[in-house]
Amino acid sequence: MLFAVKMDVEIPRDLDEQVRAEVVAREKAYCQELQKSGTWVHIWRCVGQYANISVFDVADNEELHRILWNLPLFPYMKIDVTALAQHPSDLAAAEVAA
């Protein structure tokens, strides 16, 4: 199942700088691990925001839920999830069917 996930991050300004750096480093490592496994398919930065739009390819809602809850930055995020389905006008879909 494919999901588009918008993640807006708001780390408190008064968070200890060392704690912030450690959490951000763990987030990056976790994200890259999921990308290498093929689970986190795409990640795009939202220009001018501390936010991203990502695409996940997971077995079900529960797997996505677990992944998101394990994000080190999760406590500082607002997350919006949209389930995705193939569009009938997608040229790539037509190529696969041919």
Residues 6+ apart with CB under 8 A from 77: 7, 8, 9, 10, 71
The CA distance from 88 to 85, in Å, is 9
Domains assigned to the chain: 2-97 (3.30.70.1060)
pLDDT of residue 54: 98
Predicted model pTM: 0.89
26 token code pair:
């763990």
| Closest C-alpha among 72, 83, 31, 70 to residue 52 | 31
pLDDT of residue 92: 81
Is residue 59 helix, strand or coil?
A: coil
pLDDT of residue 96: 61
The CA distance from 77 to 6, in Å, is 10
Q: Would you write out the chain's pLDDT as a tens digit for each of its 98 residues?
A: 999 999 999 999 999 999 999 999 999 999 999 999 999 999 999 999 999 999 999 999 999 999 999 999 999 999 999 999 998 898 887 666 55
The CA distance from 56 to 59, in Å, is 10
